[in-house]
Chain A
Amino acid sequence: RKEVEQDPGPFNVPEGATVAFNCTYSNSASQSFFWYRQDCRKEPKLLMSVYSSGNEDGRFTAQLNRASQYISLLIRDSKLSDSATYLCAVNIPIGYSSASKIIFGSGTRLSIRP
Chain B
Amino acid sequence: EAGVAQSPRYKIIEKRQSVAFWCNPISGHATLYWYQQILGQGPKLLIQFQNNGVVDDSQLPKDRFSAERLKGVDSTLKIQPAKLEDSAVYLCASSLDDQVYSNQPQHFGDGTRLSIL
CA gap between A39 and B41 in the complex, in Å? 13
Interface residues of B in 37-76 (CB under 8 A from A): 40-45, 48, 50, 55-56
- The reply to whether A49 and B108 contact each other, CB–CB distance below 8 Å, is no
Which stretch of A14-22, A74-82, A102-110 is in the interface? A102-110
B41 to chain A: which residues have CB within 8 Å?
Answer: 106-107
CA gap between A107 and B99 in the complex, in Å? 24
**Chain B interface, number of residues (Cβ within 8 angstroms):** 28
Number of residue pairs spanning A and B whose beta carbons lie under 8 angstroms apart? 69
> Can you list 28 A-B contacts with CB-CB less than 8 angstroms, sorted by A residue number?
A34-B106, A42-B110, A43-B91, A44-B43, A44-B108, A45-B108, A46-B106, A49-B103, A49-B105, A89-B106, A91-B100, A94-B55, A98-B99, A99-B55, A99-B99, A100-B98, A101-B33, A101-B45, A101-B55, A101-B56, A101-B98, A102-B45, A102-B95, A103-B45, A104-B43, A104-B44, A104-B45, A105-B42
Given contacts A34-B106, A101-B48, could you give 8 more A-B pairs where the C-beta distance is less than 8 Å?
A: A31-B103, A32-B100, A32-B104, A43-B91, A44-B43, A94-B56, A99-B56, A102-B45
The interface of chain A, by Cβ under 8 A from chain B, is: 4, 6, 29, 31-32, 34, 42-46, 49, 87, 89, 91, 93-94, 98-107
* 4 nearest A-B pairs in the assembled complex, by CB-CB distance: A104-B42, A43-B108, A106-B42, A100-B100
The interface of chain B, by Cβ under 8 A from chain A, is: 33, 35, 40-45, 48, 50, 55-56, 91, 95, 98-111
